[in-house]
């Protein structure tokens, strides 16, 4: 039997397997790209015979591991550089093979195989987004014709975000496509493992059942990830990390991705940013894009209904290119809060119902024994949830008492704001918060019986804590912050 820390690691590997599989397009959709893959062509010389004659392919040394990296250039006659960054999987740059010719008509296009992938070397070391961002920084410094537009997909989106946060002067615009790993690792892992239990188009009764199944799975995953961190020992040494993942580039980069903290980058990166997202993505949840659209200073979300993790696939290629053309030609409209509306005297009670969506302005919203209810674009003075499973998006709770009271319930909240003397009081509850602003004039969080919290890039302002909350932790009978 696996020991518990080993079970944690096993769950990580399950996540990485799913992430890698989702990063690869389906066999039918990916046929043009896979014709260029190293597994088929074997050598760079053969690859050159299979790409357009005006593409330049060469290998150059990168500054992190001093390894040889494949670089691709097209559209050299144009003055505006676009850099394409791929995600996990040995396809490497070929994930963009159908996109490059379209962009090269108007732009100087740069692409690469990140170290460990495709036709690049696989050096020993930690394939972290921070290290990969240094590789991209050197590439842009050498080859970009001024500040570049950087487009990153999946893991490549996380790498592009890290680059934009650390070297913003190298970029003019950022476009993230189904960026993976931005949420806290527990939230990201939960979705990657249980996110295929889609309930968005189901009836209320079935949606309630699916929510309860997901609730059980999520609870198990949260308990496992509350155990000792299997990555802590590996993080203590680059050489130890590299040795543990020798010859396993996907596991190396995937593990490093979920270990990295993007909370500062996800809330303060100043560049104009477009977010293109498949609404049916089972790997990188749409709520990541919703969170970034609200918390980045200049960001806007363009979603693709019915599309999964790889929108460049042939089935969704035209819709993706329409979104991409818009993102390249228009400035993103950052979120602006609507003007405050007059106080409402309406109350709302959900009792013993499943599914549904609630919007509008209320004094009190009370939810009892309900599953699968979505609170979206809602304003209220207080929210009381008991024995229920609730999702919350773009919601504001502002009152003179406790903002949210959560008892024996689960709340998944995204891109919302809670402002009250006590922002949240939880008893025997589970909360998964992404980009949620917590303002408590007395305290942000109070707990009675044991409750579990996952927080991804949540700004907190209270007497006991000021800063970004990005953690997975259990609390009991306390108002104290670590």
User: Does residue 269 form part of some domain?
Assistant: yes
pLDDT of residue 23: 47
User: What CATH number is associated with residue 301?
Assistant: 3.40.50.1820
User: Does residue 356 form part of some domain?
Assistant: yes
Per-residue pLDDT band for 202 (boundaries 50, 70, 90) equals: very low
Highest mean pLDDT among 1-10, 199-208, 457-466: 457-466
pLDDT of residue 267: 94
pLDDT of residue 98: 95
User: Does residue 192 form part of some domain?
Assistant: no
Q: Is the pLDDT of residue 477 over 90?
A: no
Radius of gyration of the chain measured on its C-alpha atoms = 23
Among 29-43, 325-339, 352-366, 381-395, the minimum mean pLDDT is found in 29-43
Higher pLDDT among residues 418 and 2, named by residue: 418
Per-residue pLDDT band for 239 (boundaries 50, 70, 90) equals: confident
Number of domains in the chain: 2
Pair (175, 299) in one structural domain: yes
Token code pair at residue 297: 């200073």
Pair (284, 427) in one structural domain: no
Q: Is the pLDDT of residue 121 over 80?
A: yes
Among 140-149, 182-191, 263-272, 336-345, the minimum mean pLDDT is found in 336-345
User: Does residue 216 form part of some domain?
Assistant: no
Pair (297, 377) in one structural domain: no
pLDDT of residue 408: 96
- Which of 329, 357, 392 terminates a domain? The answer is 329
Secondary structure (H, E, C), 105-161? CCCEEEEECCCCCCCCCCCCCCCCHHHHHHHHHHHHHHHCCCCEEEEEECHHHHHHH
Token code pair at residue 19: 């992430």
Q: Is the pLDDT of residue 397 over 80?
A: yes
pLDDT of residue 336: 74
Pair (278, 413) in one structural domain: no
User: Does residue 212 form part of some domain?
Assistant: no
pLDDT of residue 468: 96
Pair (268, 413) in one structural domain: no
- Which of 271, 300, 329 terminates a domain? The answer is 329
Distance CA 24, CA 95 (A): 8
> CB–CB of 380/361 below 8 Å?
yes
Percent of the chain with pLDDT over 70: 81
Pair (386, 413) in one structural domain: yes
> CB–CB of 199/372 below 8 Å?
yes
Pair (280, 392) in one structural domain: no
User: Does residue 175 form part of some domain?
Assistant: yes
Q: Are strands 56-61 and 68-74 parallel, antiparallel or unpaired?
A: antiparallel
Distance CA 378, CA 375 (A): 6
Pair (274, 362) in one structural domain: no
Residue showing tokens 């919703």: 290
Per-residue pLDDT band for 344 (boundaries 50, 70, 90) equals: confident
Q: What value does the mean pLDDT take over residues 180-205?
A: 67
For residue range 429-463, what is the model confidence (pLDDT) as tens digits? 999 999 999 999 999 999 988 999 999 999 999 99
Pair (314, 391) in one structural domain: no
Which residue from 91, 23, 97 is spatially nearest to 254, judged by alpha carbons?
A: 23
State the residue range of the domain holding 366.
347-475
For residue range 208-232, what is the model confidence (pLDDT) as tens digits? 544 554 455 455 444 544 545 556 6
> CB–CB of 355/372 below 8 Å?
yes
Pair (371, 267) in one structural domain: no
Higher pLDDT among residues 314 and 276, named by residue: 276
Per-residue pLDDT band for 384 (boundaries 50, 70, 90) equals: very high
Token code pair at residue 479: 């108002």
User: Does residue 90 form part of some domain?
Assistant: yes
User: Does residue 21 form part of some domain?
Assistant: no
User: What average pLDDT does the chain have?
Assistant: 87
Higher pLDDT among residues 198 and 107, named by residue: 107
> CB–CB of 390/380 below 8 Å?
no
DSSP state for residue 342 in the 8-state scheme: P
- Which of 303, 329, 355 terminates a domain? The answer is 329
Pair (388, 464) in one structural domain: yes
DSSP state for residue 449 in the 8-state scheme: S
Among 50-54, 108-112, 212-216, 323-327, the minimum mean pLDDT is found in 212-216
Q: What value does the mean pLDDT take over residues 69-80?
A: 98
Per-residue pLDDT band for 194 (boundaries 50, 70, 90) equals: low
For residue range 242-253, what is the model confidence (pLDDT) as tens digits? 777 888 999 999
pLDDT of residue 189: 80
For residue range 5-46, what is the model confidence (pLDDT) as tens digits? 444 444 454 455 455 554 454 433 333 446 888 887 788 999
Pair (294, 408) in one structural domain: no
């Amino acid at each position: 039997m696996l020991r518990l820390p080993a079970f944690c690691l096993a769950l990580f590997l399950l996540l990485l397997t799913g992430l890698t599989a989702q990063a690869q397009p389906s066999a039918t959709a990916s046929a043009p790209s896979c014709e260029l893959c190293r597994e088929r062509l074997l050598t760079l010389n053969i690859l050159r015979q299979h790409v357009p004659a005006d593409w330049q392919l060469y290998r150059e040394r990168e500054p992190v591991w001093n390894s040889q990296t494949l670089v691709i250039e097209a559209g050299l006659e144009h003055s505006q550089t676009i850099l394409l960054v791929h995600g996990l999987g040995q396809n490497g740059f070929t994930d963009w093979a159908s996109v490059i010719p379209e962009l090269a008509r108007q732009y100087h296009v740069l692409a690469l195989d990140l170290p460990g992938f495709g036709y690049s070397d696989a050096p020993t070391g930690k394939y972290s987004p921070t290290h990969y961002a240094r590789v991209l920084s050197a590439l842009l410094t050498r080859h970009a014709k001024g500040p570049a537009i950087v487009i990153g997909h999946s893991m490549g989106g996380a790498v592009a975000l890290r680059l934009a946060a650390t070297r913003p002067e190298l970029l003019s615009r950022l476009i993230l496509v189904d960026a993976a790993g931005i949420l806290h690792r527990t939230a990201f892992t939960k979705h990657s493992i249980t996110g295929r239990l889609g309930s968005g188009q189901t009836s209320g009764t079935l949606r309630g059942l699916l929510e309860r199944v997901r609730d059980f799975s999520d609870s198990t995953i949260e308990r496992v990830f509350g155990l000792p961190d299997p990555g802590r020992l590996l993080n203590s040494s680059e050489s130890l990390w590299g040795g543990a993942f020798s010859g396993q580039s996907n596991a190396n980069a995937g593990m490093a991705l979920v270990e990295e903290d993007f909370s500062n980058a996800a809330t303060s990166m100043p560049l104009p940013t477009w977010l293109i997202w498949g609404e049916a993505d089972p790997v990188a949840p749409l709520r990541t894009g919703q969170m970034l659209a609200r918390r980045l200073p200049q960001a806007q979300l363009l979603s693709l209904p019915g599309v999964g993790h790889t929108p460049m696939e042939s089935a969704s290629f035209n819709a993706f290119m329409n979104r991409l053309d818009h993102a390249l030609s228009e400035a993103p409209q950052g979120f602006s809060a609507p003007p405050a509306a007059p106080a409402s005297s309406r109350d709302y009670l959900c009792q013993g119902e499943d599914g549904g969506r609630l919007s509008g302005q209320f004094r009190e919203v009370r939810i009892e024994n309900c599953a699968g209810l979505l609170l979206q674009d809602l304003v209220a003075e207080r929210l009381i949830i008991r024995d229920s499973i609730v999702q919350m998006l773009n919601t504001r709770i502002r009152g003179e008492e406790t903002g949210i009271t959560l008892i024996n319930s689960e709340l998944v909240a995204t891109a919302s704001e809670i402002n009250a003397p006590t922002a949240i009081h939880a008893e025997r509850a589970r909360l998964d918060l992404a980009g949620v602003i917590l303002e408590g004039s007395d305290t942000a969080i109070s707990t009675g019986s044991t409750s579990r919290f996952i927080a991804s890039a949540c700004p907190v302002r209270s007497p006991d804590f000021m800063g970004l909350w990005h953690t997975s932790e259990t609390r009991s009978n306390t108002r104290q912050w670590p």
